[in-house]
Amino acid sequence: MKTTLLFLSTLAILSIGITGCPDQLPDASTQEIALGGLTCDMCVTKVEKALAALDGVDSYTVDLEAKLATVRFEASKITLASIESAIADAGFTANGTSRSEQAHAELPACCQSSETVDM
Ligand SMILES: [Cu+2]
């Protein structure tokens, strides 16, 4: 009986050790955002700048070839919709949302893309 209890408590401690990762924020969420209108590295920089300016975004990667942004954020501070609209405000579509045509028109010529939605 004692051995069983010891075994169970050891198991409990072990499982806490596995799940209770200290640097894993409880409300952290990682989402992939499909980007439209991404043509070159400058576009990537524009999207990265838009993401960097957001409070609540912990980290991000922007993949030009996959046209995909992977964003890790704190769900209590910012919503996915806010992140999408920040990207749209920078002149690109995010998950099919419409982009700011004004911001898009202000992008360098190499970044001007006729595609409005790229899913
Ligand atoms: Cu570009």
Q: In angstroms, what is the span from residue 14 Cα to ligand 1's centroid?
A: 49
Report pLDDT digits (tens) over 78-111.
999 999 999 999 999 999 999 999 999 999 998 9
Q: Is residue 41 part of a domain?
A: yes
The confidence band for 14, taking pLDDT boundaries of 50, 70 and 90, is: low
Digit-coded pLDDT (tens) for 19-78: 555 556 678 999 999 999 999 999 999 999 999 999 999 999 999 999 999 999 999 999
Pick the more confident residue, 14 or 4.
Answer: 4
Quote the domain boundaries for residue 104.
Answer: 28-111
Instruction: Tell me if 14 is assigned to some domain.
Output: no
Residue 13 has pLDDT above 90, yes or no: no
C-alpha of residue 73 to centroid of ligand 1, in Å:
25
CATH code of the domain covering residue 41: 3.30.70.100
Report the domain count for the chain: 1
Please report whether residue 74 resides in a domain: yes
Cα–ligand 1 centroid distance for 84 (angstroms): 18
- Using the mean position of ligand 1's atoms as its centre, give its distance from the Cα of residue 45 in Å: 8
Indicate the pTM of the whole model.
0.75
CA of 60 to the centre of ligand 1 (A): 18
For the chain, the DSSP string reads -HHHHHHHHHHHHHHHHHH--TTS-TTEEEEEEEEES--SHHHHHHHHHHHHTSTTEEEEEEETTTTEEEEEEETTT--HHHHHHHHHHTT-EETTPPP-HHHHHTS-GGG--S-S---
